[in-house]
């Protein structure tokens, strides 16, 4: 039965790509608030395996597939928000999706999107369509130091990562760099978030 479920999950990855506008019950982002709301609908679909984000395809509860990751990217890069920094509410929704998805079949796309979205929340440049693209390396635009990054934002990011079972190595490295650059004593680093030091 377990092997059968895994096979079915792999086969669903080749399903047609979802469009935000085609999905009844998922608002087309008109601002960062509606984008955050749309991401919470994706989160609910990940948790339950049901709802507008899973309609017409096989989706298991607590799983995140390529369509889910693609939908999150479409929401975050909608025309209405592409020139605005990723908001705290959008980043929180992404962390909630990350926490909810215990099974991943997205080939790492969501982890990449999460790291880039959180870095964009902290740094706000370049436009989302560039920053969040899977073809853009985070190192090409994310700041390598904390200059210009709000310390409160760094503390919030670290608090989101603290005690999480699923680790995002790109995000952890970025935060460790920021925290080090922000001149926090090294002794505080493990208390900020658990990265296995």
**The pLDDT of residue 48 is above 80:** yes
Higher pLDDT, 179 or 45: 45
Residues in the chain, total: 197
Q: Measured in whole angstroms, how far is the alpha carbon of residue 25 from the centre of its chain?
A: 21
Give me the residues paired with residue 63 across strands.
103
> 44 and 131 share a domain?
yes
Q: pLDDT tens, 99-127?
A: 999 999 999 999 999 999 998 998 888 99
> 119 and 175 share a domain?
no
> 113 and 186 share a domain?
no
Domain that holds residue 170: 143-197
User: What's the predicted TM-score (pTM) here?
Assistant: 0.78
> 114 and 177 share a domain?
no
The predicted pLDDT at position 113 comes to 96
For residues 145 and 181, is the Cβ–Cβ distance under 8 A? yes
Q: pLDDT tens, 130-176?
A: 999 999 999 898 877 666 677 788 788 878 887 676 778 877 777 66
**What span, in angstroms and rounded, lies between the C-alpha atoms of 80 and 70?**
17
């Amino acid at each position: 039965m377990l092997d059968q479920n895994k096979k079915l999950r792999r086969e669903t990855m080749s399903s047609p790509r979802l469009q935000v506008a085609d999905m009844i019950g998922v608002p087309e982002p008109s601002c960062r608030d509606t984008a955050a709301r749309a991401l919470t609908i994706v989160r609910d679909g990940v948790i339950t395996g049901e709802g507008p984000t899973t309609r017409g395809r096989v989706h298991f509860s607590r799983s995140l597939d390529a369509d889910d990751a693609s939908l999150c990217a479409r929401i975050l890069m909608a025309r209405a928000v592409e020139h605005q920094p990723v908001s705290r509410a959008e980043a929180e929704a992404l962390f909630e999706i990350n926490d909810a998805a215990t099974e991943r079949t997205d080939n790492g796309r969501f982890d990449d999107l999460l790291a880039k979205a959180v870095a964009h929340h902290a740094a706000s440049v370049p436009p989302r369509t560039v920053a969040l693209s899977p073809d853009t390396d985070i190192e090409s635009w994310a700041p390598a130091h904390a200059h210009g990054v709000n310390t409160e934002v760094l503390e919030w990011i670290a608090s989101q990562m603290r005690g999480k079972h699923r680790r995002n190595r790109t995000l952890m490295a970025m935060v460790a760099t920021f925290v080090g650059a922000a001149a926090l004593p090294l002794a505080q680093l493990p208390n900020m978030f658990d990265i296995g030091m």
